[in-house]
A and B are shown apart, each in its own frame.
Chain A
Amino acid sequence: MMLLRLITWPYVRKHVLRCTLTTAGIVLGVAVFVAMHTANQSVLYAFNRTVDRIAGATQLQVSAGEAGFPEEVLETVQSLPDVEVAVPVIEATVQTGIPGAGNLLVLGVDMTGDRSLRDYDLENADETIVDDPLVFIAQPDSLIVSRQFCEKTGLKLNDRLTMQTMAGPREFTIRGVMSSQGLASAFGGSLAVMDIYAAQMVFGRGRRFDRIDIKVREGVRVDDARQRIQAALGPGLQVEPPTSRGQQFEAMARVYSMTANITSVFALFIGLFLIYNTFSIAVTQRRGEIGILRALGASRALIRNLFLAESAIAGLFGSVLGILLGVTLARGVAGYLGDYFGEVYGVGEKADQVSADPRLLGLALLIGVVTSVIAGWLPARNAARVDPVKALQKGRVQVISEGENRMRRIVAFAMLAAAIACVFVSHQTFFFYLGYMLSVLAVLLLTPSLCSWLVRWLRPLMKGLRPVEGALAADSLLQAPRRTSGTVAALALSVALVIGLGGISRASYSTIGAWVQTSLNPDFFITGSETITQRSFRFPESFADEVARVEGIDEVQPVRSTRIIYQGTPVMLVAADVEKIARRVRARVVDGDRETMYAGAARGEGVVISDNFSLLRRVNRGDVIELPAPNGLLRLPVLGIVVDYSDQQGTILISRELFKKYWGDQTVNAMRVYAKPGVDRAALRQRLLDEFGHRTRLFVMTNEELRAYIMRLTDQWFGLTYVQIVVAVLVAILGIVNTLTVSIADRKRELGVLQAVGALRNQVRHTIWMEAAAIGVLGLAIGFALGGVHLYYILDVAKRDVAGLRLDYLYPYGIALLLLPVLMGSALLSALGPAEGAVRASLVEALEYE
């Protein structure tokens, strides 16, 4: 402790900027980790809170994914001996269209039984209407809303609200206002309750419910009741506690968690290199100090522990700052994620508050400190090994001994060989990740040798540009191999991360673009919701026939898409006229024969699954999958696998007839519409709106609009990726600034001599700029190569573990070209400060500097 105060603290005070830059890598790595995971958790927490508040006293829920089931199921459930209360529910999210109001979560409930499960806590109600549930049912235009919704919209008791329903525009009257707690605070306070049968009409549910909420009898164990109710209903329906919905949501959000983890690991790895670099240099610079301590009786262990303590403190400092920064960023990220999940999964839930889990923060702190200690371990060990006699001599040139270099090369090549061997058994997850790790480590171990070779190759070029400045810049890099290779490694890792993310982004856009081109080729898409991803509103089947009769329409393909639970995860089930789709769509086949698979699926003999479903669920052609349906468990073989990006969790295509039979659902939520050749599409669209807009809720989206929407969703998905790219580049720049700052300090005397013998300030600046540029070139060269390797592996990770995406290897040359000026420019910019510091420093001090 005393040594920290006497030795470490003065050093830190003297080198505040350098020490701050050292911890910057840890700060950013921890901040990314905390921001992403806190945001994820906050959105999840908000979702769970909504589920919890809506559930009220509900102990079990009967559902069939998103698809719902016929009303008759309710009678069956109510007749079971374990069930005390069973009430039907319809739940849907709608856009209000009211400025500032956002989305509204609508609960359709049966008031006769629902109040024994949920407390409406009405603060302001027409008690005649709401107190008597029968009167509430008899007034199907009754609406109960939350106080918060009223405040947002300016509505109050007895006001009327017009909603576009599947039966056309309908007016609803606010007959109750819930106080802003409990149930009313669900979904951020944007909640409305209506009669369930009115909800069926509004949302086009027909004679179906979304789920049944259950309270079991007193004295009955919930889990026992669950098993018995499940047995009674069969495997086609799910009987789960309300919390299982949160787990399903979590499964969907897992993709983001994995992406966040990969970026955090990289950022922390880069931070590790920065700290290792700085501590290595510090040990060299403080050799004299170490020599004095050893001469005065300090043991090797004491010296080692001193430096380890310094690295732990640096890690602690960096982690605390990182946590603060991460929590600050988490709000923005949570809002972003909430919007994205709402768009893609239809589970719109804004995280109004960021809930930082203390365990997560503790983990982040631990990760930061451990990373820092690991980074500081080797320098600490080297500090302990400093020979006091040699240390007290005047500074000598620091080299990595040729022996040490040779050993690194041997180990690196051995790792490379092992990584190549792992490629041949990469179908096994362990060997795949082992190969990944070995290849990255091998390149990093080779970095000193690569730097040395590259600088020696660059030196004549630099000297040719400027004889003195170029030579000095090159020699500065050669003379300080640890400093050089540490910074170049950090820079190369950043570049590799950017290349990897850029490559995935490029491949995704290319692949998704190709899919949109081939599979989403109808002229129009008709839905009951504002976007194709929302499925709250449904049309009756007969509506498709009406649309088909409109002049100018060639073909209408009705589609019913819904999420069902497959092995605990929500996946997309698409029910359509498979024969018609096969005629119009040339989806890319991954496995199977195109004609055979679609013909078989059309006949109801099997299913066609998407490539990502196959990869994520490990399902192959020929496997039989079980689909839970209200009318029984459906077992079907997989007839073929195609490329389809309709859903991140995967898609199963079955015939509409099979769907109607097993789900008892005649409705459709979307229609793929083909116009006759030569028809004016704008006029046709207007005809559709004129014909049907006044009597039903519908939206007509052109093909261009849908493509733009999908590409926008893709942009949103990659939005956070681009933020990660910025983080990577920032860390790289910090690495360069750090190195240059240290380099200037190291070469204070040398730069002083240069000026003493007649170098102008600009000539000194050029030396430093050229050094910075050389570091940039080295980092880019090695980073581009490492990036190519990293991209190969990250594409496979995306395929096998993250999103089931089979993406082509497309090196992002565009991004690489963009990185060139960005990093070279950043390198030069980062040299400005250190260069000015060097030329404006006192010459006298510089010449006396040891």
Chain B
Amino acid sequence: MNVIRLEEVVKEFDGKRKVRALDGVSLEIDRGEMVALVGPSGSGKSTLLNLIGTLDRPTSGEIYIDGQKLSGLSDTELTLLRRDKIGFIFQFFNLLPSLTCLENAALPLHLRGWKRAKARERAEELLELVGLKHRLDHLPDELSGGERQRAAIARALSVYPPILLADEPTGNLDSKTGAEILDLIRDLHARLGATVLMVTHDAGVAASCERTITLRDGRLAGDEVRVSRR
């Protein structure tokens, strides 16, 4: 059953010139798949990720997340949907610099109104899951690149969302650390069963995913499955 479905999605940006970043993209991603989204610079990968992540709205076309049609939802409804069903992992981590590791991981829970003790317990559990139990009270400035990304992953997993979106999660890391992060993501995917959609430039990273979707000039240019879909 698909957890993400796009139907003829178009995204245009108005600037000095109108730019058509996505030009009628249709695709389906099943629950539990681990998918790499590849393509040259400017192909629309990040745009597509942002639309699926409800950070932006398409110019036309429909997007369904877990069966829910996104068009017609208000900003609040989109935020609630994002809060409950989607976890984000960014290339530049986007941890809040004034919050500790623990506080960053607990941030989404506090936003949901969880009680302090419960949020703390969950955050500790997540940080242990990503191997950062020894860094709970450290600020982002005090962490290495890999540790920051682990903290960001812990934050993304806060309510164990069914969908994880990662925008070049290893793009800002050295190859060794990047490989460790990739292993972590694959491990979490296997253990938690989340659907993972990962934008990457790295062919090696793409090869490690079950499925690779290729975008070129805003259109679908390829869809290669290495592991059969359930």
Contact = CB atoms under 8 A, between A and B. Distances in A.
A759 interface: yes
A484 B40 CA distance: 43
Residue among A394, A467, A476, A758 with max Cβ neighbours from chain B (10 Å): A758
Interface stretch (A77-85, A617-625, A839-847): A839-847
Interface residues of A, number: 27
B99 interface: yes
Given A397-B97, A479-B98, A761 B76 contact: yes
A479 B141 CA distance: 13
Contacts of A34: none
A760 B96 contact: no
Interface string B49-90: 010010110000000000000000001100110111000101
B99 to A, nearest CB: 7
Contacts of B55: 756, 843-844, 847
A163 B151 CA distance: 92
Contact of B98 (A478, A760, A844): A478
Contact of A471 (B94, B99, B156): B99
A689 interface: no
B112 interface: yes
Given A756-B82, A758-B83, A476 B76 contact: no
Residue among A472, A749, A752, A759 with max Cβ neighbours from chain B (10 Å): A759
Contact of A759 (B56, B79, B103): B79
A569 interface: no
Contacts of A750: 96-97
B102 interface: no
A763 interface: yes
Interface of B is mostly: helix
Contacts of A758: 79-80, 82-84, 108, 111-112
Given A467-B110, A844-B50, A755 B79 contact: yes
A467 B116 contact: yes
Contacts of A1: none
A841 to B, nearest CB: 12
A759 B94 contact: no
B79 A468 contact: no
A761 B79 contact: yes
Nearest to A474: B98
A616 to B, nearest CB: 56
Residue among B53, B98, B116, B141 with max Cβ neighbours from chain A (10 Å): B98
Interface in A304-343: none
B150 interface: no
A352 interface: no
A151 B116 CA distance: 81
Interface string B105-119: 001101110001000
Contact of B111 (A394, A479, A749, A757): A757
A475 B100 CA distance: 12
A548 interface: no
B98 A475 contact: yes
A471 B107 CA distance: 11
B103 A763 contact: no
A279 B97 CA distance: 23
Given A756-B82, A758-B79, A844-B55, A472 B98 contact: yes
A450 interface: no
A369 B198 CA distance: 55
A398 to B, nearest CB: 11
Contacts of B99: 471-472, 475
A753 interface: yes
B111 to A, nearest CB: 5
B155 interface: yes
A770 to B, nearest CB: 14
B56 A757 contact: no
Contacts of A397: 97, 141
B12 to A, nearest CB: 14
A847 B79 contact: no
A758 B53 CA distance: 11
A755 B110 CA distance: 13
A245 B79 CA distance: 75
B56 A842 contact: yes
A757 B107 contact: yes
A760 B79 contact: yes
Given A479-B98, A761-B75, A761-B76, A468 B107 contact: yes
B56 A756 contact: no
A842 B75 CA distance: 12
B111 A763 contact: yes
Interface string A377-417: 00000000000000000100100000000000000000000
A479 B107 contact: no
A435 B194 CA distance: 69
Contacts of A759: 79, 111
Contacts of B156: 757
20 contacts: A471-B99, A472-B98, A472-B99, A475-B96, A475-B98, A479-B97, A752-B94, A753-B94, A754-B96, A755-B79, A756-B88, A756-B94, A757-B111, A757-B156, A758-B80, A760-B111, A761-B75, A842-B56, A843-B55, A847-B94
Interface of B: 50, 53, 55-56, 75-76, 79-80, 82-84, 88, 90, 92, 94, 96-99, 103, 107-108, 110-112, 116, 141, 155-156, 158
Given A468-B107, A471-B99, A754-B107, 8 more contacts: A397-B97, A475-B96, A479-B98, A754-B111, A757-B83, A757-B156, A759-B111, A760-B111
Which 6 A-B pairs give the minimum distances between C-beta atoms?
A758-B83, A475-B98, A468-B110, A843-B55, A753-B94, A757-B108
